[in-house]
Amino acid sequence: MELDVFLIPPAESARRKGPHDRIVMSSRVRLARNLKDAAFPGWAKKPERIRVLELLRPAIEALPEMKGSFTGTMDSLSSLDKQILVERHLISREHAAKSAGSGLVLNREETLCFMINEEDHLRMQALRPGLQLRQAWAAIDQADSALEKKLNYAFSPELGYLTACPTNLGTGIRVSAMLHLPGLVLAEQINPIIQSVNKLGLAVRGLYGEGTEALGNVFQVSNQMTLGESEAAIVERLEKVLAQIIEHEENARATLLEKNPKMVYNHIGRAYGILANAHSISSKETMNLLSLMRLGVDMGSFPGVDRSLVDELFILTQPAHLQKEHSEKLSAEERDLLRADMVRERLRPVRRPIVPPAVSLGAGLDKPTK
């Protein structure tokens, strides 16, 4: 099956709901696993990578939860399709750069994704909307337990699951959440938050993971250490830290509205003004302005507008998704024009932002239970 036929339409995936999805856009748990008698993908020769791929792929496809999944080798996918998978956060940028000897198995719901021969033989991840780390861990743990019966994992009682990079050694787990934190950014509190999260041994990254910038005020928080701590303990630690970040973000929003409402509504109004009227707009500017509109939706500036309208545009306005809508190859300039056209069209039914009456301020606060 063609990938674009298989993938869930952005309108649908933007409507998925999860706990605290006002701030936590998605949760993810990833496990790194390797086979015992094979060199890691970065060192293995092509025939060995192909042997590993041909061993792993059927084992994954046979899992009951992977019934009707999309499966392919990286050399069979076009670079555009790979880019789309990256924009949907289903595969890493590194994996998109792979070709023969690497592969992908993705389930129908796009909640389970297996990368074969990325940095490790197997990188499997479970994704959930909103804050659902435990659910994501349970799902990937189950898949892993089923696979270990059929595969001979590289495991040492002392060091745990052996991985290509020593930073993933032990549990091989990466627990992460994607957070939308415009309040903390506007209140200029984001840097101290990032620093204190770093001190707890957690990493804060941009929208597309390692080494990327925080476009659209979206940040990824994840564990860094994988050895010497159990999976459950790591999940729990992340949960605690996330609950605090959520609270800080809500507090920042409430304080901004109380102390400096003009600044907030100025940002939201200008964001709407540009998005609804621009005739050429870059992907980066779009992300940053959509973030402010998302904040506006959360704050009641756009009555009757659902957050999914903004979240769908978050997906659709990215370069590869935009290119996919058009048969001819677009230049960056052409994409900027078409992006602006699309956003203007989508925002046509959205009325100018209002300053909601003070009573409703803070009423929708999403305070996590600790």
Partner 1 sequence: MLCSMCKEREAKVHYTKIVADKIQKVDLCEECAKSKGMNDPTAFSLADELFGLGAALEIEQAGDGTCLKCPACGFTQADFKKAGRLGCPECYQTFAEPMGSLLKTMHKGTRHVGKVPESLRQNRDVSDRLKNLQKRITKAIEEEDFEKAAILRDEIKQITVRAASNTTS
Footprint of partner 1 on this chain (CB under 8 A)? 34, 36, 38-40, 42-44, 119, 141, 144-145, 148-149, 153-162, 164-167, 169-171, 173, 195, 198-199, 201, 203, 225-231
Dihedral sign (CA 206, 226, 93, 128):
negative
Q: How far apart are CA 186 and CA 173, in angstroms?
A: 32
Q: Look at residue 178 and give its three-state secondary structure.
A: strand
Q: How far apart are CA 337 and CA 344, in angstroms?
A: 11
Burial class of residue 284, CB neighbours in 10 A (0-12, 13-18, 19+): exposed
Query: What value, to the nearest 5°, has the Cα angle with vertex 344 and ends 340 and 349?
Result: 165
Task: Select 110 or 119, whichever has its Cβ closest to partner 1.
Answer: 119
Residue type, 84: I
- Minimum distance of partner 1 from residue 2's CB (angstroms): 34
Q: Look at residue 112 and give its three-state secondary structure.
A: strand
- Minimum distance of partner 1 from residue 240's CB (angstroms): 16
Residue type, 91: I
Task: Select 225 or 355, whichever has its Cβ closest to partner 1.
Answer: 225
Task: Select 45 or 352, whichever has its Cβ closest to partner 1.
Answer: 45
- Minimum distance of partner 1 from residue 339's CB (angstroms): 32
* Closest-CA residue to 198 (of 208, 190, 207): 190
Task: Select 3 or 221, whichever has its Cβ closest to partner 1.
Answer: 221
Pairing of strands 24-33, 202-205: unpaired
- Minimum distance of partner 1 from residue 255's CB (angstroms): 23
Task: Select 195 or 360, whichever has its Cβ closest to partner 1.
Answer: 195
Residue type, 123: R
- Minimum distance of partner 1 from residue 260's CB (angstroms): 26
Q: Are 161 and 155 in contact (CB under 8 A)?
A: yes
Q: How far is CA 31 from CA 2, 126, 173, 258, in A?
A: 27, 9, 5, 43
Query: What value, to the nearest 5°, has the Cα angle with vertex 234 and ends 163 and 158?
Result: 45
Q: How far apart are CA 120 and CA 271, in angstroms?
A: 42
Task: Select 145 or 331, whichever has its Cβ closest to partner 1.
Answer: 145
Q: Look at residue 43 and give its three-state secondary structure.
A: coil
Assigned token pair, 37 = 């008698």
Task: Select 52 or 293, whichever has its Cβ closest to partner 1.
Answer: 52
Task: Select 35 or 293, whichever has its Cβ closest to partner 1.
Answer: 35
Task: Select 144 or 312, whichever has its Cβ closest to partner 1.
Answer: 144
- Minimum distance of partner 1 from residue 19's CB (angstroms): 25
Residue type, 269: G
Q: Are 174 and 286 in contact (CB under 8 A)?
A: no
8-state DSSP, 199: H
Task: Select 74 or 162, whichever has its Cβ closest to partner 1.
Answer: 162
- Minimum distance of partner 1 from residue 229's CB (angstroms): 5
8-state DSSP, 360: G
